[in-house]
Amino acid sequence: MERTFAIIKPDAVERKLAGQILLRVEGAGFTVRAMRLHHLTKREAEGFYAVHRERPFFGALTDFMSSGPCVLLALEAPDAIKKWRTLMGATDPAKADAATLRKDFGSSIERNATHGSDAPETAAFELGYFFRGMELF
C-alpha cells in the first residue's frame, strides 16, 4: 500500500463538487486515511508551493489556493501516487482524458479542481505539511 496527498481545490469546493469528487475517489478504490476542510493562508500556500517560488505563476497560484476553503486528503491504495494522478488527469482540463476529475470538474489550467503529489518524496512532504502531528489511520 502507498499513501499520497490530494487537495480538492477552492474552485471545486466553491462549486459544491467536493462530494462528487470524493465519490469518485472512493469508487476508484482509494481509502481516505485523513481528511479536513481548511482555508489556507497566503503564507501556508507560499510554503506549500515553495518549489515554484521563482516561476511566473507563483503569485497567482498562491492567491488562488488561499482564496477559499479546500479539502485536504491523505489517500491510500496500491500504487496510490500514479493511480491518483491518472484519476486527476492532465493539469490542463482541455488536454485531460475523458472521465478524469480535471476533465469533468476543472474549468482552466489554473482552476483545475484537484492537486496531487507527483512522487513519494513529494507525498511525504505534502502529507507532513498538512497532517503533521496527526495520526493517519
The answer to whether residue 81 scores a pLDDT higher than 80 is yes
What's the rounded mean pLDDT across residues 67-93? Answer: 97
Check if the beta carbon of residue 77 is closer than 8 Å to that of residue 29.
yes
**How many Å is the maximal CA-CA distance in the chain?**
38
3-state secondary structure at position 58: helix
Take residue 114 and report the three cell numbers written for it.
Answer: 484537484
CB 7, CB 18: distance < 8 Å: no
In whole numbers, what is the pLDDT of the chain averaged over residues?
Answer: 94
Q: Give the pLDDT score at 135.
A: 63
Enzyme catalytic residues:
115
CATH classification of 2-131 is 3.30.70.141, yes or no? yes
Report residue 132's pLDDT band, with 50, 70 and 90 as the boundaries. confident
Grid cell locating 96:
485531460
Asked whether residue 134 carries a pLDDT value surpassing 80, the answer given is: no
What is the distance between the alpha carbons of residues 4 and 117, in angstroms, rounded to a whole number? 6
Residue with grid cell 507525498, as numbered in its chain: 123
